[in-house]
Structure 1
Amino acid sequence: MKKTLLALAAAAVLAGCSTPSSQAPTELEDYNSIAEPDVVWSKNVGESLTNYLVPSVVGTSVYAAGDNTIYRLDAETGDEVWSFETDAPIAAGVGSDGYIVAVGTAKGELVVVDAEGKKLWSTFLTSEMDAVPLVGNGLVVVRTADTRVTAFDAMSGQQRWRYQRQAPSLTIKNASGMMFFGPMILVGQSNGYLLGLSAEGRPVWQALISEARGITEVERLVDILGSPMLSGDLLCASAFQGRLVCMNAQNGQLRFTHDVMAMTPPAADERFVYVGNTASELYAFDRTRGYPVWKNEKLKWRGVRAIVPMSGVLAVGDSEGYIQILNPESGDIIGRTQLDGAIVSPAQSYEQGAIFQTEEGEVAFIKVQ
């Protein structure tokens, strides 16, 4: 049986070092208040059963899920547009292209509704979903814990294709994702590879992000973290306790790579690429040449998971629900607020801010005035 690790149990595992249970989070220090974040709106959608619940922002709508309910919220106000209840707690989602909304339940069922909250179809999968479903191009693509990537017709639910590869015996539990990239579907693999599948489900490209190292199974974990990051002509990915790799999005040529013992997927703005390591130390690299710009150690062991640039600053969420606002030029903390519950899933950019979701189910729109 495939084994999994909870993110907080594997979050800061370093070769030869102790686990996060023995590491006290760094105490937050006073800071020079320059850019305080504003909680524009907040709504509780219910607790997260897993670390695979991520809000989806399409147009002026936020699709979020918690407990056994899917919500469509107005992105400007947080008002509920509609809700839909599933037969079991929601374990993975939300995937949406604005027309189709898809989630996976704890019973291994894929549930698909339309933009008005009416059920279109559902089907039971071969295993529980371990990634946020990818919706678009007339497809709903899911990845399950038995390593199968399966594509369904978005309207009818008919299976289009399936791809499977052998999985390692141990993986981490993180909000993995997939991404459309030209004619391909990019899928992060648990063996440290970023895989490109054709529209027909055939493997057509792959890139090694990080190789397994060490002796124990834990030391050899190299799961791709979150979704690949596409920013202009730059495509980046990171692997758990492994490397950050950035390449030219047009031809796949390597731009730069850094061994950072990664714990977060990469994020980028016009000038820098950001990533956090297993100790919650944050790095910024020049996006053109890849040289290091700064390293922030003031959030060490605080379980940093969500990193998102917004409105000229960098927002960082941690396992105590704090959102730190950093100066992207220096990495200095210049603002702070707190939500209810740990922030373990990626934040989603919206307008001049970002949408965050906590384990306790708080979904909040954060901006810096």
Structure 2
Amino acid sequence: MQRFSVLFLCSVLLTGCSGLGALKDAASGIGEYFGASDNADPPAELKEFEPAVKMTVLWDAGIGKGYAKQYVNLVPAVTEDKIFAVDRKGEVQARNRLGGDKLWSVDTELVVSAGPVAGRGKLILGTSNAEVVALNDSDGSVLWKTNVSSEILALPRIEGDTVVVRSSDGRITALDEESGATRWYYDRTIPALSIRSRGSPTIAEDVVLDGYGSGKLIALQLDDGKPKWEATIALPHGRSEIERLVDMDSDPIVNGNTIYVTGYQGGVAAVSLSDGEVLWRQSNLFSYTGMAAARRSLFVTDAGSDVWQLDMRSGADLWKQDELHLRRLTAPALIDDYVVVGDFEGYLHLLSQEDGSLVGRVRVDKSAIATTPLVFDDVVYVYTSGGTLAAISVKGLSGSSPDDRLRLE
């Protein structure tokens, strides 16, 4: 049986109980440091290897205080020519996506916990004070601000003229994208013991998909919030509340008419988008960071920071890369024929999709890369917990090296 330390017990939230704010702040994010194996094991040390692919930091820049040592979900957002990032204290910057030059910067004085997400000329942010805020992406001015039921850690989603947010108490709220007015909300019962996760809802074919406690996945109609179906992906088992903790808390992935989901002690499963039927379930691994899909494969970072390739049709495992064990890896992102993940020491690692072998590595910062790398137009973008925003090429530049990066103010 897996051993749990006091630190792990502190990493879960007793949602719905009062007086736990101090516990949340003290223990935020500790759970992501530990995987499914004995949590006394140290992270794997990096081994020297001959890279087959050159990774080059094209430019980097500082964004305020970064995460300010908090467990938050701050990510870069890109458009065709711009990249945006925000720090915990509310400093928002827009930069040229290709060169990194600063276009504008504003201090919103918000306590930002999630975002930004870009769409329809807006940047959408969530805060620890239960605010959803829309900024004009051309100058950072506030377009609207509205309140929801609790802190927002999940990334907002924009679909057409609707913004969907999930707050930490489990409520899903749909807002008008132009005004921020509430269109509908959906409450569901969540267990007293649950994981504090960066997982976010997904919208596909006018349906909002979201996993939650007790191993459930729900589909809500985007126009009115009414449930279309609910599926049980994994059943809790064990004697104690910790052993019975199951939380489908990673972002659902949609490919065609199939949804792929995973979560804490929930395995990996394929579910029909039409009716919620579970098509297959792989119970040998799970992830609370997330997955990526390409061709007929799923790529999964498991709870022990091992990276897997699974057959999308059956869930069968095709390869496993364990040389980065317990390095607190992000969910995978895909670029060309490679898988890219970040780790707790600021390294980006490049793996072959064919066999999982390590083919490239570069260090972006000394602070952790805690959220999934973002790939846009064959460039990898990351935002570290220490506040470094960086652009990385995986094809290399003739005559350059990682130390030749352009450092920007």
What TM-score results when the alignment is normalised by the length of structure 1?
A: 0.91
State which of 319, 323, 331 in structure 1 corresponds to 2:356. Answer: 331
The answer for the alignment partner of 1:211 in structure 2 is 235
Q: Answer with 61-70 or 210-219: which moved more.
A: 210-219
Match of 1:171 in 2: 194
- Structure 2 distance, partners of 1:248, 1:261, is 19
Contact 1:304 / 1:316 at 8 angstroms: preserved in 2? yes
Aligned to 1:227: 251
2:137 is matched with which residue: 97, 102, 115?
A: 115
> Is the aligned partner of 1:50 residue 2:76?
no
1:93-132 deviation line (CA, Å, top 9, x unaligned): 1222142211122322221112222211112332111311
Partner of 1:194: 217
1:307 to 2:332 alignment? yes
> One-letter code of the match for 1:167?
I
* Partner residue in 2 for 1:359: 385
- Asked if 1:294 is matched to 2:312, the reply is no
CA contact (8 A) 1:53 1:175 kept: no
Cα distance, 1:72 vs structure 2: 2.7
With over 3 angstroms needed to count, the CA separation of the structure-2 counterparts of 1:298 and 1:288, relative to structure 1, is: same
More deviation, 59-68/245-254:
245-254
Cα distance change on mapping 1:343 and 1:223 into 2, 3 Å: farther
Aligned to 1:266, the other structure's residue is in SS state: strand
Letter in 2 for 1:105: T
Q: Name the stretch that deviates more: 348-357 or 158-167.
A: 348-357
1:106 to 2:128 alignment? yes
How far, CA to CA, are the matches of 2:172 and 2:161 in structure 1? Answer: 16
Give distance in 2, aligned partners of 1:358 and 1:71: 15
Q: Does the CA contact (< 8 Å) of 1:58 and 1:98 recur in 2?
A: no
**Residues 146-185 of structure 1: matches in 2 within 5 Å?**
146-185=169-208
Rounded to whole Å, the distance in 1 between the matches of 2:191 and 2:278 is 26
Note if contact 1:96-1:136 (Cα within 8 Å) is conserved in structure 2.
Answer: no
Please give the root-mean-square deviation of Cα atoms over the aligned residues, in Å. Answer: 2.3
What corresponds to 1:27 in structure 2? 45
Task: Assess, with a 3 A threshold, how the Cα gap between structure 1 residues 205 and 44 changes in structure 2: closer, same or farther.
Answer: farther
Q: Contact (CA 8 Å) 1:175, 1:346: kept in 2 or not?
A: no
Matched with 2:59 is 41
1:54 CA drift (Å) = 2.0
Amino acid at match of 1:91: S
Q: Which runs of 5+ in 1 are unaligned?
A: none
| AA partner of residue 243 (structure 1) | G
* Corresponding residue number in structure 2 for 1:85: 107
The answer on 1:368 being equivalent to 2:394 is yes
Q: Is the 8 A contact 1:241 1:278 kept in 2?
A: no
After superposition, give the CA deviation of every residue in 1:309-335 in whole Å (9 maximum; x if it has no partner).
Answer: 112111111112111111111111111
Aligned to 1:66: 87
SS at the partner of 1:9? helix
How far the C-alpha of 1:282 sits from its partner, in A, is: 1.4
Do the aligned partners of 1:101 and 1:135 also contact (CA within 8 Å) in 2? no
Does the C-alpha gap of structure 1 residues 140 and 215 become closer, same or farther in structure 2, counting only changes over 3 Å?
Answer: same
Question: Residues of 2 paired with 1:353 and 1:218: CA distance?
Answer: 40
Q: Distance in 2 between matches of 1:241 and 1:318?
A: 22
* Letter in structure 2 aligned against 1:169: A
Report if the CA contact (8 A) 1:69-1:90 is conserved.
no
CA distance, structure 2, for counterparts of residue 52 and residue 94 of structure 1: 9
Question: Retained in 2: the 8 A contact 1:263–1:277?
Answer: yes
Task: Return the offset for 1:60.
Answer: 3.3
CA distance in 2, matches of 1:208, 1:58: 37
* Bigger-Rg structure (1/2): 2
CA separation in 1, counterparts of 2:273 and 2:264? 22
Contact map agreement 2:229 2:275 (CA 8 A) in 1: no
Asked if the contact 1:96–1:134 (Cα under 8 Å) also holds between the matched residues in 2, the reply is: no
What percentage of aligned pairs have identical amino acids?
Answer: 28
- Which range is displaced more, 207-216 or 341-350? 207-216
251 and 364 in structure 1: CA distance in 2 versus 1, 3 angstrom threshold: farther
Structure 2 CA distance for aligned equivalents of residues 76 and 131 of structure 1: 28
Q: 96-105 or 3-12: which moved more?
A: 3-12
Once the two structures are superposed, what CA deviation does each residue of 1:320-369 show, in whole Å capped at 9, x if it has no partner? 21111111111111111112211111222211132222111212222211
Cα shift readout 1:53-112 (whole Å, capped 9, x = no counterpart):
122233333232113122233322222333332223211112221422111223222211
User: How far, CA to CA, are the matches of 1:253 and 1:170 in structure 2?
Assistant: 27
Distance 2:304 2:388 in 1: 25
The answer as to whether partners of 1:51 and 1:174 remain within 8 angstroms in 2 is no
Which residue identity does 1:153 align to in structure 2?
D
Instruction: Confirm or deny: 8 A CA contact 1:267 1:274 kept in the other structure.
Output: yes
CA displacement 1:188-222 (0-9 Å, x = unmatched): 22332222111211111233333323333333333
Which residue of structure 2 aligns with residue 142 of structure 1? 165
The structure 2 residue matched to 1:76, chosen from 75, 98, 110, is 98
Tell me how far 1:161 sits from its aligned partner. Answer: 0.8
Q: What is the correspondence of 1:238-277 to structure 2 with a 5 Å cutoff? A: 238-247=262-271, 254-259=278-283, 260-277=285-302
Whole-Å separation in 2 of the counterparts to 1:172 and 1:53: 18
Match of 2:368 among 342, 349, 352: 342
